[in-house]
Each structure stands twice: as structure tokens, then as C-alpha cells.
A and B are shown apart, each in its own frame.
Chain A
Amino acid sequence: MKYLMLLIMLLLATISVADSSSPKHSVGKPRVEAFFMDRDIIRIVQGQLHTANIKIHSSAKILDYVIYSSNGLFLKALDQSSPYNATESILSIPVQMSVSQQGRFYIHVELTTVKDGIETKGVISKVVSSETDINERILKKNTSSKKIHLLPASETIKKKIDE
């Protein structure tokens, strides 16, 4: 167990922030990052306990958070006995999750923030990324299409009588 903890600590120290180098220009919404701690060395294995690092970014003060896995399993909540009072808007939360489902691994963060006296609640969903995900995303380049995505509309036809 000690060695496992040591390994996790080492991984914590070496983990890179994959998306922070992205040239995206986004609006300043609250957002969440989530990575499996062991994404650099192994593939995520179903049924095993994995540690994910979840970061909540918010320009507003974080009053509360509750984190669930995609199958509704409670993972973590803010300890209200020692509420988060830091002025720093990024909160980093390690959680352990047993990966039981195939495919992609979602977490849901119910987030309550306050800014200028206005309280805002919302849910942010996040894929917990592994290195495999990131590589696949890089390979999947967006391509243009000539296809049409038809949406419904209502039509009114007025037949004017010929003069």
C-alpha cells in the first residue's frame, strides 16, 4: 500500500496538463478538468480502483461541490466542516473511482458558486481522460461535409387567387 501511495505521489508530481497548451480561446465559464493519475503508464482497466485528479476552475467563489461517477455513484463532496475559502479559483480534488463500465468514463460535478452576491448552481460533466483518449482526439481531425442535417419547421401556404 505504501508503494502504491508513493507511486501515486510520484505520478502527481509528473502529471502533465494536456489541454492547457491548447490554442483554444474560450469564454470564462466555470470548467472542470479530470485525468486518471495513471494515464501515462497503463490503460484504464475495468474493475480496478483508479485515482483521478479533478480540477474545478471558476472565477466565482466555490461554495459547494458534489462529484458523482457516470453511474450515479457518489465520489466526493466539499467538506463543509472545513469549507473552501481560498481566493484561488482552481480547486484540485483527487478522487478514487472504480471503473466498472466500458467505453468512456464520465464524472459529474454539481457546482455551487457565488459572485457579487449571486449564487449559481450547475452541473458540469467531464470525461476522465486517459492518454489513449488524448491521442485519439489528436488523430480525429475535423473534416468538412456537404451533408445536410434537416430540422423540422412549420410551413404556412397561402394560395392567392389568380387575378
Chain B
Amino acid sequence: MKAFVQLGLALLSLCLLAACSGGNGSSSSTSSASVGVSSSSIASSFATSSVAASALLSGVITYDDVPHKTNNLGLDYNNIQRKPVRGLVIELLDASGNLISSQITNDDGEYEFNSSLNQQVQLRVKAQLLNNFGAWNVSVRDNTETNSLYAVQGSLAAIETVTEVRDLHISSGWNGVSYSDARSAAPFAILDSVYIGIQKLRMSGFSGTLPELHFFWSVKNTSAEGDITLGEIGTSYFSSEGIYLLGDADVDTDEYDSHVILHEWTHYLENTISRSDSIGGDHDSNQKLDMRLAFSEGLANAFSAIILDDAFYKDALGRSQSSGFYINMAEKSHSLRGWYSQASIGSILFNYHLSADNRTEKSFHDLLATFTRQDYKIHPGFSSIHLFSEKLQVEAPASFNTWSVLLAEQNIFSIGAYGEGETNAGGYSENLPIYKTLSLSNPNLTLCSSNRFGSFNRLSNYQFVKIPISRLGNYRIQVMNAMGSSNTDPDIYLYSSGKLIQSGLSSLPDLEVMQRLLTSDTYVLTLAEAKVLNDSVGGNITHCFNLTLSME
């Protein structure tokens, strides 16, 4: 109602001003355009002519961006910046809410509609980052309100002059102490991080199409884990449904944490324009991880820092978002270094970007080109620092010395896709070679699965086996406990070019058997003792198994 009255008064004053001044300038009015505002009765009083003379309606859409403090620990609400809403869908609606026209805001947040004089119109800006040619379509939705699309709207008012300007500003809702008003800027801040990411891809030579992506954000999105329609998302994460982001003020909210947003967006890129074989789950820099997880998480951290051109990966949290943590991606002296360390992977990728020869700091081309290479995406070996290294050597041979030095600094000594010749065993000799080869000419292997570095997704939980098949035929893969019977439960997974094609997950004690028709190709198999994948099973567990391959 307040907005309604404000708009009415503003338009009335405009009318008086225009009538009395002789008309040699412009005037402006402001209003708070909120949900459900209807000012058709006011606007109609100005609709004095039915002649559809053309008019130009233009303006700028801006939002409040909250930067991080210069010490990288928390948000700096004293330096909120007004930024343009770039690349988003803006619609012109008529008095009934019907779409008249739509377009996409430019890099400065500007729009320009050709319209009709005296027509009652209303602007709507959707939280939707869209490319006119279908190259990308990213939206921010409310998972606690039937996944509705966030949007802001201007007031319904008649266009009275041949050229009219309507600017919209979307505020953060921060009152200097806390969030007292609606946090309208949040979805638009999220999309601006993605806008930066897409621009970076394009400038670095990517010209493909990005599949549709939904972000899910709500002020109710908390670290509680349960029902996502109640906001219980647990943490910010990527899954096949989209990217969920925290929004819990004074606890953890991520709309201004661009590194976090782009970290998750990189996981989306892995799953759409590249590949990811990560098994997911908890992870951090101090853990020896499954190499697939380590590579994916290190890559996501590095890409976020490269895209933002900001080495300090940061995440604000706590009361008033005034604390947080940061990771210096340029740091090399990690306590844990190797192909199983996300810190090492992140460091290598980021420092390559910074220090490689004959390129500017902003160059991202080599890494992106390798990331999207077809022979990287379909290689039989899993995505790992080793596979990436092999393909980077092909993509950027002139810069490969730089890469090799960075690998060695992180105690990684192989550049073969399967980690051939790697000498860093991560503190457990059974981890080498990284891939053991099983073939008809080498049909027996002994492999050990262990939880000595933790459970579920840690180094040594899984063992990796390369299986080159040269003849089409029915094959039998058998796993037996190497010590006879000791109530073990071996599980095996067979992959072709990173895609799971068969699992052996029976509950038979000490035994697993898989039979399959295999064509001439190279396959990869993983083997794990089921108990080492379960972190509620206590104690140190190491079980060794005999693996055999035969043709039937």
C-alpha cells in the first residue's frame, strides 16, 4: 500500500512539474516495487490518448554486491557495491501481466524496449542468465517454494514521454547490523558469479553449449540435512538436479561467496562438458583421498580461483557473516603432497595458470582445452592428475616443462594416464602401481583394500585395475580372499571410458564373480572391501584378495 501511494504521489508531482515548468528537463520518482503491487488505477489516469505513438523505454538494472573483507575472513558490509545485473532476462509486461517483449541486459545492466506512448507497462527481471542462441540457461530458484524462479518487478505505470528511463535496484536487505529486509540481491549475486565464469570460458576459447542449470537458494537453506523442501540441504553442493546453496544468515550463507559458487559450478562443468569420476563425499586438504575425488575437488578450487583471478579461495560464515576461512591456492608447501591430495592438485593447476610461459595471468586456455578434449573425456582411465597431465602434454607441449616442475614439487612423478612409473605410494606400498594390469597373459593379481587413511573415499579404499582385452569373448573375473575365509566382502566395479558397466556387489563371503561379454578395448575395474567404505565400522581393516581373469 505504501508503494502504491508513493508511486501515485510521484506521478502526480511529475504531472504538475511537467505542466508548470514549460518542459525543458526531466524529473524522476522512486518507489519500492514489491510483490503484488497493482497500480493500474493510477496509471490509467494518465492514459489520455489512444494513439499508439512509439516510445523508448530504457534503464539500468543494478544489485548490491557484498565483497569479502581484505583479510579474506568474512563479508564487508561497509563496502557494499552497486553492480550491474548482466546477461539476465528482462521482460516488459502489460497491465494484465502478459508478456509484451523480453530481452537480455547488456554488460552494463542496460536494457532498451521499443514501446508505445501511454501504454501501461511493468518491468520484470528474472533470475535467469540466458543466451539468445541457447548457449547457456542458468536460473536461481527457491527450493522451499516449489522451485519457483526468483524475480523482481517494477511498478505498473504508463509511459508518458517518448523517451522514459526506469532503473531498478535490487538491494541486499542489510541494514547496517543485520538482514532486516528481503535479501533480494542474493539470486542476482549468484548469477553474476556464473556470468563471470561463462565470460572466462568464452574468452578462453570455449564455444560450445552449456546444458540448462538450476541453482537452488533460499534464506531457509541451512546446514541441517533432511528435507530439501524445508531448506535442509546440509551444505552447498552440486548434484544431478542442480547446485544447492546455503542461505542461512548468521550461520552460513553463500550467495556472496563467489569461490564457493564457482567451485560447485566447476563440478557442473565436469559433468557436462568434461568428465568426472569423483565418488563424492567429505574431503579436505589434510586427508589422503581417492585420486578421483582429490582431482575433482582440487580442480574445482583451482578453477574458481582462476576464473575470479583471486588466489584466495574464501568462504564467509558465522554471526553477521563476519568470520570464515580461506585457502591460498598459490601455496605450494602443503604438509600432504601427492596425486591423492586435493591441495596438491589445486596448487598445480592454479600455479600453472599463473606461471606458465608466454601467457598472461588471465590465460585459461590450456587447462580448459585439456579439460574438454575428447580423448580426455573418453579415456578408459579415471579422471586424475595423471590422465590430465598426459593430455595437457599433447595440448600444450611448449609449456609442459612448467607443468612437470609443478608436479614434482607436489611429489607427483608420473605423466602417464595410468600413473605409470609413479613412485609416491602415499605411505602404503600396495598403492603402487596405481593401476595393476590384469590380462589373459597376466591373469592373477593380489590386491589389498584398506581403511588406514579413513573410509569411504580415501586413498587405499579402492584398488585400480587396468584390463586390456584384445579378443571379443565371454570373460570371467573372480575375486577371492587371499587368506582363505575370514568373513570379508569384496566388491568390484567394471568401467568403460569412465562409465560403470557392471557391479559385483553380492553378499557372498570372501568371493565375488563377474561374467561379461567384452569387446576388444581397455576396461578399468575397482575393487574394495565393503567394510572399508563404511566409516561407522571401527578399527583398522586391511583385506587382500586374489583377482583372476579367464575367458569362458
Q: A129 an interface residue at 8 Å Cβ cutoff?
A: yes
CA A36 to CA B488, docked complex, whole Å: 27
Contact (A31, B234) CB under 8 Å given A125-B251, A133-B227, A149-B148: yes
CA A97 to CA B69, docked complex, whole Å: 40
**B residues less than 8 Å from A146 (CB atoms):** 149
CB atoms of B146 and A160 under 8 A apart: no
B137-155 with Cβ < 8 A to chain A: 141-143, 145-155
CB atoms of B14 and A159 under 8 A apart: yes
Q: A143 an interface residue at 8 Å Cβ cutoff?
A: yes
CB atoms of B226 and A148 under 8 A apart: no
Q: A15 an interface residue at 8 Å Cβ cutoff?
A: yes
Q: B192 an interface residue at 8 Å Cβ cutoff?
A: no
Which one, B238, B276, B342, contacts A24 given CB within 8 A? B238
CB atoms of B149 and A149 under 8 A apart: yes
Q: B368 an interface residue at 8 Å Cβ cutoff?
A: no
**A residues less than 8 Å from B152 (CB atoms):** 150-153
Q: B548 an interface residue at 8 Å Cβ cutoff?
A: no
**B residues less than 8 Å from A25 (CB atoms):** 237-239, 264, 267, 276, 278, 280, 296-297, 300
State which of B163-171, B410-418, B434-442 sits at the interface with chain A. Answer: B163-171
User: A153's closest neighbor in chain B, by CB?
Assistant: B152
Contact (A118, B325) CB under 8 Å given A145-B147, A147-B146: yes
Q: A79 an interface residue at 8 Å Cβ cutoff?
A: no
Count chain B CB atoms within 10 A of each CB in A17, A33, A87, A129 and give the residue with the most.
A17
CA A147 to CA B146, docked complex, whole Å: 8
Q: B31 an interface residue at 8 Å Cβ cutoff?
A: yes
CB atoms of B149 and A148 under 8 A apart: yes
CB atoms of B235 and A157 under 8 A apart: no
Which one, B150, B170, B242, contacts A149 given CB within 8 A? B150
CA A15 to CA B538, docked complex, whole Å: 11
Which one, B14, B162, B285, B533, contacts A162 given CB within 8 A? B162
Number of interface residues of B (CB under 8 A): 114
CA A27 to CA B14, docked complex, whole Å: 52
CB atoms of A156 and B29 under 8 A apart: yes
Contact (A129, B226) CB under 8 Å given A20-B456, A144-B214: yes
CB atoms of A17 and B32 under 8 A apart: no
Q: Mark B279-297, 1 if CB is under 8 A from A, else 0.
A: 1111111110000000011
CA A144 to CA B137, docked complex, whole Å: 14
State which of B203-211, B315-323, B508-516 sits at the interface with chain A. Answer: B315-323
**B residues less than 8 Å from A104 (CB atoms):** 226-227, 230
Count chain A CB atoms within 10 A of each CB in B146, B229, B241, B296 and give the residue with the most.
B146
CA A160 to CA B25, docked complex, whole Å: 7
B521-546 with Cβ < 8 A to chain A: 533-538
State which of B101-109, B217-225, B355-363, B467-475 sits at the interface with chain A. Answer: B217-225
Q: Mark B156-187, 1 if CB is under 8 A from A, else 0.
A: 01001111111111110000000001111001
A77-94 with Cβ < 8 A to chain B: 87, 89-90
CB atoms of B166 and A156 under 8 A apart: yes
CB atoms of A149 and B251 under 8 A apart: no
CB atoms of B225 and A127 under 8 A apart: yes
Nearest CB of A to B253, in Å: 12
**A residues less than 8 Å from B279 (CB atoms):** 23
CA A138 to CA B36, docked complex, whole Å: 35
Q: How big is chain A's contact interface, by range?
A: 35 or more
A15-31 with Cβ < 8 A to chain B: 15-17, 19-29, 31
CA A142 to CA B284, docked complex, whole Å: 29
Q: B236 an interface residue at 8 Å Cβ cutoff?
A: yes
**A residues less than 8 Å from B538 (CB atoms):** 13
Contact (A157, B166) CB under 8 Å given A60-B325, A120-B318: yes
Contact (A160, B161) CB under 8 Å given A29-B235, A59-B285, A154-B32: yes
Nearest CB of B to A89, in Å: 6
Q: B28 an interface residue at 8 Å Cβ cutoff?
A: yes
Q: A47 an interface residue at 8 Å Cβ cutoff?
A: no
Which one, B165, B263, B281, contacts A157 given CB within 8 A? B165
CB atoms of A127 and B286 under 8 A apart: no
CB atoms of A142 and B282 under 8 A apart: no
Contact (A160, B151) CB under 8 Å given A122-B317, A152-B32, A155-B30: no
Q: A115 an interface residue at 8 Å Cβ cutoff?
A: yes
CA A127 to CA B283, docked complex, whole Å: 21
CB atoms of A156 and B224 under 8 A apart: no
CB atoms of B182 and A23 under 8 A apart: no
User: B276's closest neighbor in chain A, by CB?
Assistant: A25
CB atoms of A32 and B223 under 8 A apart: yes
CB atoms of B534 and A148 under 8 A apart: no
CB atoms of B251 and A17 under 8 A apart: no
Nearest CB of A to B382, in Å: 15
CB atoms of A122 and B164 under 8 A apart: no
CB atoms of B155 and A159 under 8 A apart: no
CB atoms of B318 and A106 under 8 A apart: no
CA A16 to CA B26, docked complex, whole Å: 69
CA A76 to CA B32, docked complex, whole Å: 47
**B residues less than 8 Å from A26 (CB atoms):** 234-238, 264, 280, 282
CB atoms of B225 and A129 under 8 A apart: yes
Q: A5 an interface residue at 8 Å Cβ cutoff?
A: no
CB atoms of A145 and B148 under 8 A apart: yes
Count chain A CB atoms within 10 A of each CB in B126, B281, B315 and give the residue with the most.
B281
Q: B504 an interface residue at 8 Å Cβ cutoff?
A: no
User: B251's closest neighbor in chain A, by CB?
Assistant: A123
10 pairs of A and B residues whose beta carbons are closest in the complex: A59-B284, A147-B148, A127-B226, A153-B152, A151-B184, A26-B237, A149-B148, A152-B34, A158-B165, A145-B147
Besides A24-B234, A127-B232, A155-B166, 4 other A-B contacts (C-beta < 8 A): A124-B251, A142-B241, A149-B141, A162-B162
18 interchain pairs, CB-CB under 8 A? A25-B296, A25-B297, A28-B284, A29-B236, A59-B286, A104-B226, A115-B325, A142-B229, A146-B149, A147-B146, A148-B151, A152-B33, A153-B169, A156-B29, A159-B26, A159-B160, A159-B161, A161-B24
Which B residues form the contact surface with A (CB < 8 A)? 10, 14, 18, 23-36, 73, 123-126, 141-143, 145-155, 157, 160-171, 181-184, 187, 214, 216, 222-230, 232, 234-242, 248, 250-252, 260, 263-264, 267, 276, 278-287, 296-297, 300, 315, 317-319, 323-325, 342, 455-457, 533-538
